[in-house]
Amino acid sequence: MKISEYASRDAVGLAELIARGEVTPAEVADAAARAVEAVNPWINAVVETWPAEDTPAPGSAPFAGVPFLVKDLGVSMAGKRSELGSRLAEGSVASEDSFLMRRFRRAGLVTIGRTTTPEMAYSTTTEPVFSGATRNPWALDRSAGGSSGGSGAAVAAGIVPIAHATDAAGSIRIPASCNGLFGLKPTRGRVSHGPGVDEIFNGLAVQGGVSRTVRDSAVLLDLIEGPEPGDPYYAARPERSYAAEAQLDPGTLRVAVLRQPWGGRRPTEPVSAALTDTVQLLESLGHEVEEVALELGVSWEEFILANARMWTANLAPWIDGIAAATGRPVDETTLEPVVLASYRHGHQVTADEFVRALAMRNVVSRTFARHFERYDLLLSPTLPEPPVPLGVYGDGADQLDGLGWLDRLFDRSPYTAAANVSGVPSMSVPLASDHGLPIGMQFTAGFGREDLLFRLAGQLERAAPWAHRRPPVWAGE
């Protein structure tokens, strides 16, 4: 199979070729391996590759034989390394499959390796000391986003059609925006984190993927959603498959537009212009669109402070557990300065401060729920600016404490974290660009309403298709 033919297909398309017997899973896996060799030296998105394992017989699973990559965090694969982008966890090997990994296998996906992540996924750019910076295939001097930056860059460059990603403050949507992809953050409780943990970062984090087409993400969520034994809670199962929803007309939707984020950073002119163009596109499709100032429920400063307390209080025992397992010290030799500072901050968070942070989560969740009594969806840019140059996040970061680092992250991505705190689904759609740099538009729905998002996403993909766009670094060339 030619790499150009392989890279031109999405996951559903590859699975159809295999099911019809036009190509074998081995031939597809070989093309994927050649794609890694062709572009990974340029973008540094894949930290390790593995030989393709036995695959289900063609047609026996929806994605039978489709090459896949998992993020080096958030999912465990028996016998494979899981190093979390950190020197502290270097060499760590998973003893069993997580529930999500079992579902990936049942879907027929052939996991060929793992993608880069910032250390402990504790950034929205992927520039770890452990594996080096991941570069954006649209512009090699730019960030691929984070924390699922490796997955985003790998899919955008044609290494795989779809890849695993996680999202605790935008880490699916931010790489999707930076790399010109579709990425949907599911509802809290939609996908299991078990059996190792019940929830990650007090329910802020979710599991999902990034893809070049809406249908790939829809089919993937169909295959991984739903509860597992021992889950503390779960979102109600959908009435129809998400793949079916993506084919349906959404009808007339009431869409609220948030142009100015809750923090102080304003969208750049190209992003603001892209938002205006998106509003016009929605109106041309018959939707009712209104630009509004939406309440967050708390001040931005309180939002940052409470998130910092939740994030760091979860980070500290996580790091302690890794250190105990590896026998390594927790210091400058094993952790980057901002992660070490955040670890120390977490050990200083009191029980009272932590409970107050959880109360903030409730206030934001209730406030967001009221928005969806009036509107079907919220629209904003995914990010206030196109992908930033590599190194921007790290400038002076060694002088920041745990609160200061989170403030920097949220200042760079002020639109995304509210959906994590409130637990609602949210997607980034690649509707625009600026001088070749992708710009994503974010749509957020009420709790459990991924169906609405997929309906609109399918409509937008048909009205303003994007899958034909190719970055300068592309495996199919």
Q: Is 71 a catalytic residue?
A: yes
Q: What is the C-alpha separation between 395 and 390, in angstroms, rounded?
A: 10
Quote the CA–CA distance of 111 and 206 in Å, as a whole number: 20
Residues 6+ apart with CB under 8 A from 352: none
Contact between 413 and 170 (Cβ < 8 Å):
yes
Dist. CA 32–CA 38, nearest whole Å = 10
Q: Answer yes or no: are the C-beta atoms of 172 and 184 closer than 8 Å.
A: yes
Contact 55, 64 (CB under 8 A): yes
Q: How many Cβ atoms from other residues are within 10 Å of residue 111's Cβ?
A: 21
- Identified catalytic residue from 143, 171, 342, 426: 171
147 is catalytic: yes
Which residue out of 98, 123, 143, 147 is catalytically annotated? 147
Instruction: Catalogue the active-site residues.
Output: 71, 147, 171
